[in-house]
Structure 1
Amino acid sequence: MAGNSDPLTPRAKLAVTAGKAVAAASRAAGRGSGSVIGGRVALKLDPDLLGRLAQNLDVVLVSATNGKTTTTRLIAEALRAAGPVVSNALGANMPAGITSALAGGSDAKFGVIEVDEKYLAGVARDTDPKCIALLNLSRDQLDRAAETRMLAENWREGLAGSKAVVVANCDDPLVVWAASSSPNVVWVAAGQMWKDDAWSCPSCGGVMQRPGDDWFCGECGFRRPTPTWALSGDHVLDPHGSAWPIHLQLPGRANKANAASSAAVAAVFGVPPQVALERMYQVQAVAGRYDVVQFQNRDLRLLLAKNPAGWLETFSLIDPPPAPVILSVNARGADGTDTSWLWDVDYTRLTGHPIFVIGDRKLDLAVRLEVANQHFQVCDNLDQAVQMCPPGRIEVIANYTAFQDLRRRVGN
């Protein structure tokens, strides 16, 4: 598909040029990457620009509550085996940021696009994707995100009849419900550690039965589909039953699950699992996540966790006690201003770790840790917390804007 004649109208070209100019001005003023404001300006000048930019690309859309930025990066690496890729690698995942990213990829064959859950149906309509990866759905940003079942319903309606191959996690009932309206689904057994948003059947509201790794609704018969791809320990099982080793520099079970889904997506484009998985090894960190940085003569590992499901996965990969842990929570616009989700996180998993608490909402977090019988100290800032930590590598876990604050402070 790529390499056709230039699809852009004069108006579209003007919109792209204007958007790039505004983005450059924003960067020069020190206001971030400029991708969102640049995309907004471009879409104002040509509301159809996203579709025009996508029409010469084989597009993959990636959506989920957790793991979409990392999975987008893994898929992009895998598909580079088959041609040039354009991707919104910095995580600007609403239409303006996506438009801005695609405007920078004039010679690309593939567009690998992370999409915010609420915008998936609209972006799919505009970009005519060849493949859509659906990883998981769980509670997040309680003050403004729709309830998870409503999001699943929006996906289900928005993707009904889509020509795209939908690569979906068969272990998440909400994802299965959303994907089941699509005629062409590839099921991946990627696992589901957090189950608290899927105890009732999304189809009829009945109680979900969960024997072992299986699940089904005892009332309407809605059940886990049979996967053709599966994560099995440190391997991906392909549809032929072959096991391919996963070698990642990224830690944890969740990233192996992301790699399994990414291998299934790569196969849709003809990239074999062995090639795809080998290329994924290149990814060391994703927008600062998992980076180990030197700060005040200490090694800090930076970990992002934005919601209960993400915190649960993150606790499973930190160094064992007595490794010190710094927790930072904000509640700014990009995080969601409601911190009641802290009560859904099982902080008893941190027992034995020295804990240090920072961030705008450190007192909210302190109350939660007190109730969980954890020993912790509240600190004014990162510098103070690091100075109080016992020797050894420090695990630093932060939600979205707190993570950005940390990166700025450590110069990452």
Structure 2
Amino acid sequence: MTQLPLRAQLASALGRSAATLSRMTGRGDGSVIGGRVGLMLEPDLLRQLARDRKLALVSATNGKTTTTRLITSALLRLGQVATNAFGANMPAGHVSALSQQKGAPYGVLEVDEKYLPEVLDTTGASVVCLMNLSRDQMDRAAEIWLLAQKWRKALSGKPTHVIANCDDPLVTWGASTAAKVTWVAGGQRWKEDSWSCPECGGPLERKGVDWACRECTFHRPEPEWILDDDAVIDPRGERWLLDIQLPGLANRSNAAMALAVAEAFGLPVDQALPSLREVTSVAGRYTTVERDGRQARLLLAKNPAGWLEAFDVSDPDLPIILSVNAKGPDGRDTSWLWDVDYRILRGRPVFITGERRLDLALRLEVADVPFATCTSFTEALAMQPPGRVDVIANYTAFQQIRSEFGRAV
């Protein structure tokens, strides 16, 4: 790789030192502060760190961190891979990740949907993976059609190879200006944000997996990769049993996207798939932690689509703890709770906590779901009998719970 200019070398080194100090003092994992320090000293540091690397950018409303981890696990067969494993998905996090692994010829970076155009322009990444777009942090992300429009503009005229989920109309529209697109039929369980055509505003008609606008030519492209229940069919028609350890349909979709990205890097399915099967948890997601004879499985859900997938993974025979905050990273607006169908929890012992537990309590009351309110996660866990319990929490609530168990990964 080309040696960095002296100023960039100094900025990168001081950023790494700041990250190390952050970890040593217990202030954080260093995945953001190191990048911030580096960018203060050299504003063009991300561009310089990205130079001469083959990069994949991964963006979506849900599943970014998991898919980034799966792609990284596969590409490690090719060589060292720089990645932001803990989800620091804005430029400071990208700088920190690339600085920490400055000799890696490959990089896989999770990117916040809003920042994708900027990061693509800065890094010149050769591969972009786009999976889904749905309502999220409504006080911050605004209309998701605007995000798709920004993706279209960012990809237009660039040689980037896009791997995109053709089952999501918004993703399809956002990706369709790219010079090269590999379409993946990854599925779309949450459809409430894509009933209208993003091209003309007309109604979308759905027949099975196919969709098309009734008023213009916009329609579902023909996929090259197809998620078929517990298997993936590749572009040559060969069917591969996924057999991954991560639970649920959403993670099988993530795995399908990861295999398509790996092949774009020249890594065939038979070499990539074994690595995907080794992943058991991602930044605390799906981890089971234990305290006083109680085994709590941690599930993350940040928005209505995420809650739908979490319910799919959770065990209906177990009690469940729900925790909701509304701090900056979560979005202050909790009106999205009313888009989640909590009736699926009827008949289960339900315990709620988090700083916005009263918002959640009202929503459950309307859904006619009995629950117990707890002032903390510790109290909620102590109320469980010995044995297993599922936990679903939104972003900062999830991180708080992870911290109680030493940031289990």
**Which residue of the other structure, out of 218, 239, 256, is the alignment partner of 2:214?**
218
CA contact (8 A) 1:78 1:276 kept: yes
Corresponding position of 1:56: 52
Local SS of the residue matching 1:223: coil
In the alignment, structure 1 residue 257 sits paired with structure 2 residue 257: no
Corresponding position of 2:86: 90
User: Which amino acid is the alignment partner of residue 373 of structure 1?
Assistant: D
**Distance (whole Å) between structure 2 residues aligned to residue 158 and residue 299 of structure 1:** 45
Local SS of the residue matching 2:279: coil
**Which residue of the other structure, out of 142, 145, 168, is the alignment partner of 2:141?**
145
Q: CA deviation at 1:391?
A: 4.9
Local SS of the residue matching 2:220: coil
Corresponding position of 1:75: 71
CA contact (8 A) 2:56 2:128 kept: yes
Corresponding position of 1:46: 42
Local SS of the residue matching 2:313: coil
CA contact (8 A) 1:217 1:223 kept: yes
CA contact (8 A) 1:247 1:277 kept: no
**Which residue of the other structure, out of 366, 389, 395, is the alignment partner of 1:394?**
389
**Distance (whole Å) between structure 2 residues aligned to residue 379 and residue 83 of structure 1:** 48
Q: Deviations over 1:323-350 (max 9, x none)?
A: 1000000001111111000000010111
Q: Deviations over 1:239-280 (max 9, x none)?
A: 000001102111000000000000000001111112111111
Q: CA deviation at 1:287?
A: 0.5
Corresponding position of 1:362: 357
In the alignment, structure 1 residue 104 sits paired with structure 2 residue 100: yes
**Distance (whole Å) between structure 2 residues aligned to residue 253 and residue 95 of structure 1:** 30
User: Which amino acid is the alignment partner of residue 319 of structure 2?
Assistant: P
Corresponding position of 1:242: 238
Local SS of the residue matching 1:334: helix
**Which residue of the other structure, out of 290, 295, 313, is the alignment partner of 2:291?**
295
**Distance (whole Å) between structure 1 residues aligned to residue 32 and residue 229 of structure 2:** 39
Corresponding position of 1:113: 109
User: Which amino acid is the alignment partner of residue 332 of structure 1?
Assistant: K
**Distance (whole Å) between structure 2 residues aligned to residue 293 and residue 402 of structure 1:** 15
RMSD: 1.1
Q: CA deviation at 1:106?
A: 2.2
In the alignment, structure 1 residue 19 sits paired with structure 2 residue 15: yes
Q: CA deviation at 1:31?
A: 1.3
Gaps of 5+ in 2: none
CA contact (8 A) 2:290 2:296 kept: yes
**Which residue of the other structure, out of 343, 346, 349, is the alignment partner of 2:344?**
349
**Distance (whole Å) between structure 2 residues aligned to residue 221 and residue 389 of structure 1:** 54
**Distance (whole Å) between structure 1 residues aligned to residue 399 and residue 2 of structure 2:** 41
Q: CA deviation at 1:315?
A: 0.3
User: Which amino acid is the alignment partner of residue 285 of structure 1?
Assistant: S
Corresponding position of 1:337: 332
Q: Deviations over 1:34-74 (max 9, x none)?
A: 22122112112111111111112100000000000000000
Q: CA deviation at 1:389?
A: 2.6
**Distance (whole Å) between structure 2 residues aligned to residue 63 and residue 310 of structure 1:** 15
**Distance (whole Å) between structure 1 residues aligned to residue 82 and residue 171 of structure 2:** 26
**Distance (whole Å) between structure 2 residues aligned to residue 391 and residue 360 of structure 1:** 26
**Distance (whole Å) between structure 1 residues aligned to residue 136 and residue 15 of structure 2:** 31
Q: Deviations over 1:329-381 (max 9, x none)?
A: 00011111110000000101112211000100000000000000101111121
**Distance (whole Å) between structure 1 residues aligned to residue 18 and residue 104 of structure 2:** 23
Corresponding position of 1:130: 126
**Distance (whole Å) between structure 2 residues aligned to residue 103 and residue 180 of structure 1:** 33
TM-score (ref. length: structure 2):
0.98
User: Which amino acid is the alignment partner of residue 360 of structure 1?
Assistant: E
In the alignment, structure 1 residue 160 sits paired with structure 2 residue 161: no
Q: CA deviation at 1:146?
A: 2.2
Q: CA deviation at 1:390?
A: 4.3
**Distance (whole Å) between structure 1 residues aligned to residue 221 and residue 167 of structure 2:** 9
Alignment of 1:1-16 (within 5 A): 4-6=1-3, 8-16=4-12
**Distance (whole Å) between structure 2 residues aligned to residue 390 and residue 150 of structure 1:** 47
- The structure 1 segments of at least 4 consecutive aligned residues displaced by more than 6 Å after TM superposition are none
**Distance (whole Å) between structure 1 residues aligned to residue 397 and residue 237 of structure 2:** 43
CA contact (8 A) 1:295 1:410 kept: no
User: Which amino acid is the alignment partner of residue 409 of structure 1?
Assistant: E
CA contact (8 A) 2:322 2:351 kept: yes
CA contact (8 A) 2:292 2:386 kept: no
Local SS of the residue matching 2:246: coil
**Distance (whole Å) between structure 2 residues aligned to residue 27 and residue 386 of structure 1:** 28
Local SS of the residue matching 1:156: helix
CA contact (8 A) 2:162 2:175 kept: yes
Local SS of the residue matching 1:100: helix
CA contact (8 A) 1:187 1:229 kept: yes
**Distance (whole Å) between structure 1 residues aligned to residue 375 and residue 200 of structure 2:** 49
**Distance (whole Å) between structure 2 residues aligned to residue 225 and residue 141 of structure 1:** 29
Gaps of 5+ in 1: none
CA contact (8 A) 1:354 1:389 kept: no
